[in-house]
Amino acid sequence: MVNTQTTPHGRLKQSPFLPDMAEIVRKERLNPTETLYVLRLTDGAELGHAPGQFVEVSVFGVGEAPFSISSSPTRGGEFELCIRRVGDVTTAMERLGIGAKLGVRGPLGRGFPLDVMRGNDVLIIAGGLGIVPLRSLIGTVIDERADFAEVTILYGCKSPAEMLFKDEIAAWEAREDIDFRVTTDIADPSWKGNVGPVTTLFRRLTVNPKTTVPVMVGPPVMFKHVVKQVLAVGIPEDRIILSLERRMKCGIGECGHCQINGVYVCQDGPVFTYAELKRLEEAML
Amino acid sequence: MKFLAQDKLQAFLGHLAGESRVVAPVKGDDGVVLFRPWSPGTEVELDVLLPKQSAKEFVLRQSETYLRYGYAMEGEAAAQVDDSHEAKVVLDDPAERKAAQDTAVTAHAALVVEPVNDAPAQVIFGLRPCDARGFVQMDNVFGGYGGFYFDPYYNAKREATTLVAVTCRDPRSTCFCTSVQGGPASTEGADVLFTQVEGGFAVEALTDKGETLLASAEFVDAAQAQVLYAETVKETAEARVDAAFDLEGIQEHLRANIEDPGWHDLAMRCISCGTCTYVCPNCYCFNITDEMVEGRGERIRTWDNCFNPSYTLETSGHNPRDTKSNRFRNRFSHKFWYYPEKYDSLLCSGCGRCITHCPTRIDIREVLSVMGSERTAVPATTGEEA
């Protein structure tokens, strides 16, 4: 597997526990629990991330937590995090206004293997909040569209109300050069689209197993079913790309929380091939 | 080899204490022997083989502040606070509401962040070879081997530390260093090795740091008889540590037995207290938390414990290691399979503290004898097909 981890910038390498400072440039409430934060490093530097990487965000006095970066590095200076209010740090973040300072360590971890995807068909499969890190990849694929062959995006949510980035989704849907399909587990009266798990979308696709790189982010139950489907059409194990969620503290391969067998998800991942994960007990749980 | 007379030990430690902190096994008023900062006149306790805790604490602190921060309020800061948010409305509890307001206010004040990394020069005197090896094994993680990061806090203390080990004359029944590639006179990780002989210690420097220590005037050249005596002490001690389990093929066996119901049976009486991880000279996992009092805060890292269900619990509620037997399996597999696979080193030096201190008498030697060897009870479904 090609390692797409970017070289940590000097300061992080020197003092990997010391956060850089960032400020909130903009906040946008996407639905009752998710908010999009647009951040900028206060020293004016670019974050320099790759799609699929994450940052550790500090709210000083409350704590630090890992979040995947949701914006594409092709979009320049600012970067975006889409965060569900669920724990201490995320609840504290919601109370912060524009201009508030946060600590940021990163970018951390190994991102999506863009070099494997270039020249090939890209099949992006997002379940629920899995769309958040995949949006970074989608942005890159759109901005460098000519580098990729067929691009298909499948997005499954629990309900239409939980769907994120609705305006952007409309734009993806409108594009001729992307096949975008969305489904919801439970419909509401306004919903005219597909109903059912994301596997129902896959079933209707025709994919070329020789040229397709499936990239999926979602809950473990989605991995279980979708991996089975992509294997069944003959896509090799080392070309199936997944990103794992784990509890992370240090983010730099020390503290132990995200470890699966000999692998640290924070540094060896969070993006892996299925071939890598298959040998790891507990990886797909 | 040098010789230090028993009655010169205090003078030697006194010299060291003039230049750096000295840490040694000392019996407290409660009768408990622990590694404690030593001061002249304090008796060093070498008769009790192992202090209750390893010396890990002096390099990987049980609790360590690495950031201090504070807020200085500026002008209209409070006015900028975002109160458009409906999240505030749900806070019925007055204390919680106050906390929310504090967070919001402080976020707009000027934030001053100050890194902390205290690493005074220190000599740890009187640790046993297993405890010295513990540091070598942790060095892999914190030294950035495996392509990761160099830990500034661990390494600053590690570099400022000189380890003076003492050969175990009288190993305990729970010692199993010889089963994990060590021994009662192992020199791995130590800068100096002391061996108790008649009237004092036979002393050998093992590193440059160690050489420096032995330049002290209290040392004389060891007589041939003392050198021979020290060798006998080492050999006798070595012979007294029982073989506990077979390392040969242990990784493969642990891998093959990963789904074996034996894990469940062995984990039954574990109460997930984590004592084994805290007393272990090799367990290095830590947590990171923020603590704040009246506008001044600290970021702290603290020893953690992989037996705690919340150790792997994600905020979403997903827990990839959600059963006790899987957590139990993780600790032993980490030490004898996952870690060795990654760093080509065990993560256990055989001190046996986990055996001595386990409230339910779980014995790592038994666990590894059972799960680290070929299991005879093969499930019927694996059949004869192959």
Domain co-membership, B326 together with B366: yes
Please, what's the largest Cα pairwise distance for chain A? 55
Instruction: Select from B82, B288, B337 the Cβ nearest to the Cβ of A64.
Output: B288
Instruction: Select from B311, B314, B338 the Cβ nearest to the Cβ of A261.
Output: B338
**Is B79's pLDDT higher than 50?**
no
Mutate: best of B93, B315, B322, B338, partner A, most A CBs <10 A: B315
Q: Which residues of A touch B284 (CB under 8 A)?
A: 254, 256
Please provide the CATH number assigned to the domain covering A114-283: 3.40.50.80
Q: What is the DSSP string of B22-38?
A: EEEEEE-TTS-EEEEE-
**Is B103's pLDDT higher than 60?**
no
Q: Per the domain annotation, does B384 fall within a domain?
A: no
pLDDT tens, A147-188?
999 999 999 999 999 999 999 999 999 999 999 999 999 999
Domain co-membership, B208 together with B340: no
CB contact under 8 A, B149 and A16: yes
Domain co-membership, B269 together with B348: yes
CB contact under 8 A, A250 and B286: yes
CB contact under 8 A, B107 and A59: yes
- Angle value at C-alpha A109, between A106 and A110, nearest 5 degrees: 135
pLDDT in tens, chain A (285 residues): 333 344 445 556 668 999 999 999 999 999 989 999 999 999 999 999 999 999 999 999 999 999 999 999 998 889 999 999 999 999 999 999 999 999 999 999 999 999 999 999 999 999 999 999 999 999 999 999 999 999 999 999 999 999 999 999 999 999 999 999 999 999 999 899 999 999 999 988 999 999 999 999 999 999 999 999 999 999 999 999 999 999 999 999 999 999 999 899 999 999 999 999 998 888 876
Domain co-membership, B39 together with B146: yes
Mutate: best of A259, A267, A277, partner B, most B CBs <10 A: A259
Two domains, one topology: A14-108 and A114-283: no
The alpha carbon of residue A143 is apart from the nearest alpha carbon of chain B, in Å, by 31
Q: What pLDDT is stored for residue B94 in this prediction?
A: 55
Q: What pLDDT is stored for residue B81 in this prediction?
A: 43
Domain co-membership, B156 together with B267: no
**Is B171's pLDDT higher than 90?**
yes
The alpha carbon of residue B230 is apart from the nearest alpha carbon of chain A, in Å, by 39
Q: Per the domain annotation, does B105 fall within a domain?
A: yes
Q: What pLDDT is stored for residue A154 in this prediction?
A: 97
**Is B385's pLDDT higher than 50?**
no
pLDDT tens, B23-58?
999 999 999 999 999 999 999 999 999 999 999 999
Instruction: Select from A62, A64, A252 the Cβ nearest to the Cβ of B148.
Output: A252
Domain co-membership, B46 together with B158: yes
Question: Could you give the CA distance from residue B50 to residue B135 in angstroms, rounded to a whole number?
Answer: 16
**Is B112's pLDDT higher than 90?**
no
Domain co-membership, B207 together with B225: yes
Structural domain containing residue B359: 250-293+304-371
Mean pLDDT, all residues of chain B: 89
% of chain B residues with pLDDT over 90: 78
Domain co-membership, B37 together with B67: no
The alpha carbon of residue B341 is apart from the nearest alpha carbon of chain A, in Å, by 7
CB contact under 8 A, B285 and A256: yes
Buried b (16+ CB within 10 A) or exposed e, A151-173: bbbbbbbeebebbbbeeebeebe
Domain co-membership, B220 together with B345: no
Q: Of the candidates B80, B115, B150, which is a domain's last residue? A: B115
The alpha carbon of residue B266 is apart from the nearest alpha carbon of chain A, in Å, by 19
How many domains are there within chain B?
3
**Is B262's pLDDT higher than 90?**
yes
Mutate: best of B158, B282, B290, B319, partner A, most A CBs <10 A: B290
Range B59-62, long-range pairs (CB < 8 A, 24+ positions): B59/B135, B59/B138, B59/B154, B59/B157, B59/B158, B59/B161, B60/B138, B60/B142, B60/B154, B60/B157, B60/B284, B60/B286, B60/B303, B61/B153, B61/B157, B61/B301, B62/B278, B62/B302, B62/B303
Domain co-membership, B190 together with B130: yes
Domain co-membership, B203 together with B161: yes
Chain A residue with the nearest C-alpha to that of B258: A281
List the domain boundaries for chain A: 14-108, 114-283
- Sheet of B286-293, strand order: B110-115, B63-72, B296-303, B286-293
Q: What pLDDT is stored for residue B292 in this prediction?
A: 87
Please provide the CATH number assigned to the domain covering A14-108: 2.40.30.10
The alpha carbon of residue A12 is apart from the nearest alpha carbon of chain B, in Å, by 9
Residue A111 CA to its chain's centroid (Å): 9
Instruction: Select from B297, B315, B320 the Cβ nearest to the Cβ of A285.
Output: B320
**Is B95's pLDDT higher than 70?**
no
Q: Per the domain annotation, does B383 fall within a domain?
A: no
- Least confident range from A4-18, B262-276, B344-358: namely A4-18
Domain co-membership, B157 together with B223: yes
- Angle value at C-alpha B256, between B255 and B259, nearest 5 degrees: 90
Residue B137 CA to its chain's centroid (Å): 10
Q: What pLDDT is stored for residue B205 in this prediction?
A: 97
Question: Could you give the CA distance from residue A227 to residue A238 in angstroms, rounded to a whole number?
Answer: 12
Q: What pLDDT is stored for residue A240 in this prediction?
A: 97
Q: What pLDDT is stored for residue B376 in this prediction?
A: 74
DSSP A233: T
